[in-house]
Amino acid sequence: MTTENSEHFLDLHQKYVLGTYSPAQLVLNRGSMAKLYDVQGNEYLDFTSGIGVCNLGHCHPRVTEAIQRQAAKLVHTSNLFANENQPKLAHLISEHTFGGKLFFCNSGAEANEGMIKFARKWGQEQGRYEMITMDNSFHGRTLATLAATGREKYRKGFQPDLEGFVHTPFNDIESVKKAVSDKTAAVLVEPIQGEGGVIPAQPEFLRQLRQLCDDKGILLLFDEVQCGMGRTTDLFAHKTYGVTPDATAMAKALGNGFPIGAFEVAKQYGDVLTPGTHASTFGGSPLAAAAGIAVIETIFEEGLLQNCEKMAAQLWGQLHQLKNNNEHVKDLRGSGLMIGLELDSPVGDVLSACRNKGLLALPAGQNVLRLLPPLIIENEHISQAVETIEEALKALDQQQNSQD
Ligand code: PLP
């Protein structure tokens, strides 16, 4: 264990890292599956998975081994040359999704950005360039994905917004129908809004969107950056909903922490992006793709979708009980191991209380406690997490009473 204390690192952070984040006063330096440890050696149960990234848990031995092996063999070549791993990963993803072709990049925003470019390129000859996206959505921090994002708070200060994005209410098919014009190229939607408060699309809404896009001859694009990679008990949320998009974006858990993103387009659109129309220096490097292959193989070979389903059933059961017995919990929603508890007050104090009791959880908006545990969790982790949340809510009660 390091002899330097957390204040030292927090101080360095404050001095030298741009202040775009306000990290919790906690310096983490080791992880093992569902557990994280800070520099003082304190243990935390991690129900954040690095915001839906480490779905296989921290330092899963198979992913670590694949990264180590590949790092010693070949790290990067550029896309001027093919490598062994990129096509293998594309094949693996394609055969578990809708049989399309993939472009690899490094993050969720970059995956969405590329997918938006794909839709514009597809629509260009018909004069179609507009994207219809949803209120309350989140698609990333680049200028195009910010313009796609349906929450003013992220765009504020960076206007003018990139042109060509129209926002409509989520789960409201009539509004989307009204927004379609002869300029519309695509509808872009998160099957489950993550940052917006863990709000699932109604199954009927996604089915109607599919129908609408077919009727109007426009593209249906999914952003599965947060809800993908096993979290909904299928490899992707579009499988859980039984609605196939024309293209989908993925990132976060694809490398279990090693940066990699991608978008997949259905086979019939495989020739829209031609040589030179899109690129990414690091995209699909031998090393990143090795991590992605290890992740997908592990999900299937270790039965992690089945474990996700089993653990989700238990977690939902215990959270329903909690909701029934606790007046602070107003709503419980999500899918599989992507869960939001809407509280009657801002979630910050509850998150701090959880952290002080050894549980890491996330906010989603002001009042929603978001749980994204790794898919490898076990029964005992669930009981520990729910008990801790219950205690944290009691602490909130005491705090509120003492203020009265
Ligand atoms: N899309 C969704 C649905 C997300 O939740 C996020 C990040 O939270 C992004 C896109 C952006 O991903 P990244 O931060 O990797 O750019």
Name the residue among 178, 197, 257, 192 with its Cα closest to residue 225: 192
Q: In whole angstroms, give the CA distance from residue 354 to residue 369.
A: 11
Separation of CA 210 and ligand 1 centre (Å): 23
Quickly state the pLDDT bin for 395 (edges 50, 70, 90): confident
Residues in contact with ligand 1 (CB, 6 Å cut-off): 51, 107-109, 112, 138-140, 190, 194-195, 223, 225-226, 251
- Supply the pLDDT for residue 404: 65
Answering whether pTM is above 0.75, one says: yes
For residue 336, the model assigns a pLDDT of: 98
Overall average pLDDT of the 150-175 stretch: 97
Q: How far is the CA of 331 from the centre of ligand 1 (A)?
A: 24
pLDDT at 2: 45
To the nearest 10 degrees (0 to 180), the angle between helices 379-403 and 348-356 is 120
pLDDT (mean) for 109-138: 98
* pLDDT over 60 at 316, yes or no: yes
Per-residue pLDDT at 401: 75
Q: What angle do CA 395, 11, 4 make, to 5 degrees?
A: 90
User: Can you tell me the mean pLDDT for 222-238?
Assistant: 98
Model confidence over 337-378: pLDDT tens digits?
999 999 999 999 999 999 999 999 999 989 999 999 999 999
| Residue bearing the CA closest to ligand 1, atom 14 | 108
pLDDT over 70 (residue 65): yes
Name the residue with the closest Cα to ligand 1, atom 1: 139
High-pLDDT (> 90) share of the chain, %: 96
User: In this prediction, what percent of the chain has a pLDDT beyond 70?
Assistant: 99
The residue whose CB lies within 8 Å of the most ligand 1 atoms, and thus the one to mutate among 141, 225, 227, 263, is: 225
Please count the CA atoms within 13 angstroms of the CA of 78 that sit on its side-chain side.
2
Most informative mutation of 188, 226, 229 for ligand 1 (most atoms within 8 A of CB): 226
Mutate to test the pocket of ligand 1, among 20, 21, 107, 138 (most ligand atoms within 8 A of CB): 138
Residues in the chain: 404
pLDDT band with cut points at 50, 70 and 90 for residue 4: low
Q: From CA 394, how far away is CA 346, in angstroms rounded?
A: 15
Q: How far is the CA of 134 from the centre of ligand 1 (A)?
A: 15
| pLDDT, average across residues 50-67 | 98
C-alpha 183 – ligand 1 centre gap (Å):
26
Q: Which residue has the higher pLDDT, 1 or 240?
A: 240
Match 């790290």 to its residue by tokens: 75
Sign of the four-CA dihedral 75, 81, 82, 84:
negative
C-alpha 6 to ligand 1 mean position (Å):
28
Please, what are the domains in the chain? 3-60+304-398 (3.90.1150.10), 74-301 (3.40.640.10)
| Probe target for ligand 1 pocket from 252, 362, 368, with the most ligand atoms within 8 Å of CB | 252
Res. 398: pLDDT tops 80: no
pLDDT one-digit tens code per residue, 164-205: 999 999 999 999 999 999 999 999 999 999 999 999 999 999
d(CA 253, CA 310): 20
Confidence category of residue 3, pLDDT binned at 50, 70, 90: very low
Taking residue 285's Cβ as centre, other Cβ atoms within 10 Å add up to 26
Atom of ligand 1 nearest to the CA of 224: 3
